[in-house]
Amino acid sequence: MNIIKKKLTISGHVQGVGFRYFTSTEAKQRNLNGWVKNKDDGTVEVLLSGEKNHVQEMIARLHEGPASAVVNNVREVPVKNNNQPDGFNILRS
């Protein structure tokens, strides 16, 4: 298994449109661990951990988002620790 971890910031019209629920559902379907949360600046932040091909599939889905979202950008940001998340959670800001 080739396990990787990615942290992403998604910008656009991504809050108040079911983006966190969409992300959680899609991540669980791919057996990914991590979390998703809204940020104060209007972006959504996502941490993904799992098999490389599943993480890559998930990133492609994040570029699309749910039907009511408008995704302008998906940007990778540095992961600051090596802790492995357990399960996939929707975090509250």
Active-site amino acid positions: 20, 38
Alpha helices in 1-93 (DSSP H): 19-29, 52-64
Integer Cα distance of 65 and 63 in angstroms: 6
Integer Cα distance of 25 and 86 in angstroms: 15
